[in-house]
């Protein structure tokens, strides 16, 4: 750029790869399948092992040039200082908890989180890491749960399936005041709609399987360090990783302990697919957010519908917060029927939405929540999370809004 303008989100993302040398002038980063990386001089191999070489690869469990290129793209998207990719979003989330918390520590987490993340909280408790879940739409509830041994606060941006929005700013302020590590799962928000660094998040986690990959054909996860957390003050960094710029300490530990030791590595093939999807993130988020809003508005006025959960509806409890922080409302919406008994019937009468679990595919996906993804959680957990028996979740795809609305019109009768 010749003037001082900052290029837009998509301009930056689609041109970022070319800033460094790409093999043979390839426009898209190639898929590197080599597991081993060799060197002319043994000193260069040693430098990669000891971390004194800038970049460099030795064994693909710790990353390849292809995963590295995706990591650079994600760092830019979240305006962070570094990123580590993982085989799945859950591998990234577990790497954070298992490498940065130890027995005797305490975690405060939102009650409104992805079901499998909630399941991990039970595993942490068995390992001696206590977890308190609270209604994180209210920072005061988070503050009330903080104990002397609290190390971390974990929330999602737009919670699945209820679309609750945590008090992102209030919790950021609390974490700053108390020196707590603030971890935000931005899977549903996506860095195009919202950047958690703006509210002081230290780590941002993504299921790349969802918004960023966007095509339902590759699993992946990532952890980005925003550079906002002071790792020098964090007691659980091992001496081996208290080296170099303090800004790098957290990711050094997560890469060595969470990726190298635990082995949940993203494949180069998946990284390549996710990188291609990432280039159209803004286009897809604009499209699916507009469609989801149109559908949410249409459903809300339909006499058979009891309630619609979508952040950009004025009826949403955190609507003002959504307008303040998010460029648009994203692809996730859920609703409840007045006649709960028709929940499965409606799903079957719909022709376009695919009856499937999963989120942010190109196609619209529909699932009855209590019968499936929150079945194992049981009625008490469902009640505490506000998940009614007739709650239906939609992940809105790229279809034309009119076609989806017409389908709902015929299915609702
Ligand atoms: C899907 C999802 C995850 C887990 O990601 P996977 O890639 O499926 O392992 C974590 N958090 C949220 C909010 C998700 O939607």
- Centre of ligand 1 to C-alpha 24, Å, is 35
- Show which of 261, 278, 295 is a domain's final residue: 278
255 in the same domain as 138: yes
Which ranges in 127-228 belong to alpha helices (H)?
139-145, 168-178, 190-193
Residue pair 272/208 in contact by the 8 Å Cβ criterion: no
- Centre of ligand 1 to C-alpha 165, Å, is 17
Q: What does residue 218 show for φ and ψ, rounded to 5 degrees?
A: -155, 135
Q: Cα-atom radius of gyration of the chain, to the nearest Å? A: 22
Beta-bridge mates of residue 346 = none
- Centre of ligand 1 to C-alpha 208, Å, is 8
Angle at alpha carbon of residue 164, lines to 333 and 13, rounded to 5°: 70
145 in the same domain as 194: yes
Q: Is the CB of 120 under 6 A from ligand 1?
A: no
274 in the same domain as 184: yes
C-alpha to C-alpha distances, 28 to 17, 18, 20, 210, 263, nearest whole angstrom: 7, 9, 12, 21, 26
Query: What pLDDT is attached to residue 3?
Result: 66
Query: What pLDDT is attached to residue 10?
Result: 94
- Centre of ligand 1 to C-alpha 190, Å, is 12
Give 126's contacts (C-beta < 8 A, 6+ positions apart): none
Closest CA to 162 of 183, 136, 195, 196: 136
- Centre of ligand 1 to C-alpha 307, Å, is 25
**Tokens of residue 74, six digits:** 């994600």
The DSSP code for 138 is S
- Show which of 255, 278, 301 is a domain's final residue: 278
The per-residue pLDDT for range 3-57, each reduced to its tens digit, is: 678 889 999 998 877 677 778 888 888 999 999 999 999 999 999 988 888 778 9
CB atoms closer than 10 angstroms to residue 263: 12
Distance CA 308, CA 295 (A): 10
Question: Ligand 1 pocket check: which of 111, 156, 187, 273 to mutate, most ligand atoms within 8 Å of Cβ?
Answer: 187
Closest CA to 360 of 312, 327, 393: 393
Question: Ligand 1 pocket check: which of 85, 87, 90 to mutate, most ligand atoms within 8 Å of Cβ?
Answer: 90
Give 116's contacts (C-beta < 8 A, 6+ positions apart): 90
- Centre of ligand 1 to C-alpha 91, Å, is 9
145 in the same domain as 91: yes
C-alpha to C-alpha distances, 315 to 154, 157, 308, 312, nearest whole angstrom: 26, 18, 9, 8
Distance CA 359, CA 264 (A): 21
Query: Which uninterrupted H or E stretch holds 124?
Result: helix 115-126
What is the tally of structural domains in the chain?
A: 2
pLDDT mean for each 10 residues of the chain (413 residues):
78 80 85 94 91 87 95 95 98 98 98 92 97 97 98 96 96 98 98 98 98 97 98 96 92 96 98 97 98 98 97 98 98 95 96 96 96 88 86 97 98 94
Q: Is the CB of 160 under 6 A from ligand 1?
A: yes
Residue pair 127/246 in contact by the 8 Å Cβ criterion: no
165 in the same domain as 17: yes
C-alpha to C-alpha distances, 245 to 143, 252, 353, nearest whole angstrom: 31, 11, 49
- Centre of ligand 1 to C-alpha 37, Å, is 31
Closest CA to 220 of 123, 360, 405, 399: 360
Domain that holds residue 293: 281-412
- Centre of ligand 1 to C-alpha 207, Å, is 5
Provide DSSP, 71-106.
Answer: HHHHHHHTT-SEEEEESSHHHHHHHHHHHH--TT-E
- Name the strands in the sheet holding 305-309, side by side, starting at the edge strand that comes first in the sequence: 305-309, 332-337, 392-395, 365-368, 354-355
Beta-bridge mates of residue 158 = 165
273 in the same domain as 287: no
Q: Do the domain assignments include residue 3?
A: no
Query: What pLDDT is attached to residue 1?
Result: 45
331 in the same domain as 252: no
Q: Is the CB of 219 under 6 A from ligand 1?
A: yes
| CA dihedral sign of residues 367, 369, 370, 376 | positive
- Centre of ligand 1 to C-alpha 265, Å, is 16
Angle at alpha carbon of residue 15, lines to 10 and 18, rounded to 5°: 160
CATH of the domain at 316: 3.90.1150.10
Q: Is the CB of 288 under 6 A from ligand 1?
A: no
The per-residue pLDDT for range 326-385, each reduced to its tens digit, is: 999 999 999 999 999 999 999 999 999 999 999 999 999 999 999 998 888 889 888 888
Nearest residue (by CA) to ligand 1, atom 7, is: 89
Question: Ligand 1 pocket check: which of 210, 211, 214, 374 to mutate, most ligand atoms within 8 Å of Cβ?
Answer: 210
**Tokens of residue 86, six digits:** 């993982």
Q: Is the CB of 211 under 6 A from ligand 1?
A: no
């Amino acid at each position: 750029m010749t003037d001082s303008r900052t290029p837009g989100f998509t301009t930056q993302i689609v041109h970022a790869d070319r800033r460094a040398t790409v093999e043979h002038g390839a426009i898209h980063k190639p898929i590197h399948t080599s597991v081993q990386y060799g060197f002319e001089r043994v000193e260069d191999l040693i430098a990669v092992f000891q971390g004194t070489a800038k970049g460099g690869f030795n064994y693909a469990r710790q990353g390849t040039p292809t995963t590295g290129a995706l990591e650079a793209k994600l760092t830019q998207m979240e305006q962070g200082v570094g990123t580590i990719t993982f085989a799945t979003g859950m591998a990234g989330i577990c790497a954070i908890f298992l490498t940065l918390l130890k027995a005797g520590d305490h975690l405060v987490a939102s009650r409104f989180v992805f079901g499998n993340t909630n399941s991990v909280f039970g595993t942490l408790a068995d390992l001696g890491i206590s977890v308190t879940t609270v209604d994180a739409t209210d920072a005061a509830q988070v503050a009330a749960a903080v104990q002397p041994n609290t190390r971390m606060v974990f929330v999602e941006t737009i919670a699945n399936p209820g679309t609750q929005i945590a008090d992102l700013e209030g919790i950021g302020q609390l974490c700053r005041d108390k020196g707590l590590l603030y971890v935000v799962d931005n899977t549903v928000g996506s860095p195009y709609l919202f950047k958690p660094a703006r509210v002081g998040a230290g780590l941002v986690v993504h299921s790349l399987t969802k918004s960023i990959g966007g095509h339902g054909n590759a699993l992946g996860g990532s952890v980005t360090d925003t550079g906002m957390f002071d790792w020098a003050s964090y007691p659980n960094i091992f001496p081996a990783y208290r080296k170099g710029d303090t800004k790098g300490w957290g990711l050094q530990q997560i890469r060595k302990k969470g990726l190298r030791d635990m082995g949940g590595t993203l494949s180069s093939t998946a990284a390549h697919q996710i990188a291609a999807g990432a280039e159209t993130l803004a286009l897809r988020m604009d499209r699916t957010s507009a469609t989801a809003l149109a559908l949410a508005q249409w459903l809300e006025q339909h006499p058979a519908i009891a309630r619609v959960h979508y952040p950009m509806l004025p009826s949403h409890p955190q609507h003002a917060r959504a307008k303040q922080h998010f460029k648009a409302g994203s692809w996730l919406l859920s609703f409840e029927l007045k006649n709960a008994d028709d929940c499965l019937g409606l799903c079957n009468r719909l022709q376009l939405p695919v009856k499937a679990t999963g989120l942010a595919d190109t196609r619209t996906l529909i699932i009855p929540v209590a019968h499936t993804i929150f079945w194992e959680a049981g009625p008490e957990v469902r009640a505490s999370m506000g998940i009614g028996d007739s709650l239906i979740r939609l992940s809105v795809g790229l279809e034309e809004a009119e076609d989806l609305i017409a389908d709902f019109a015929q299915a609702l009768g």
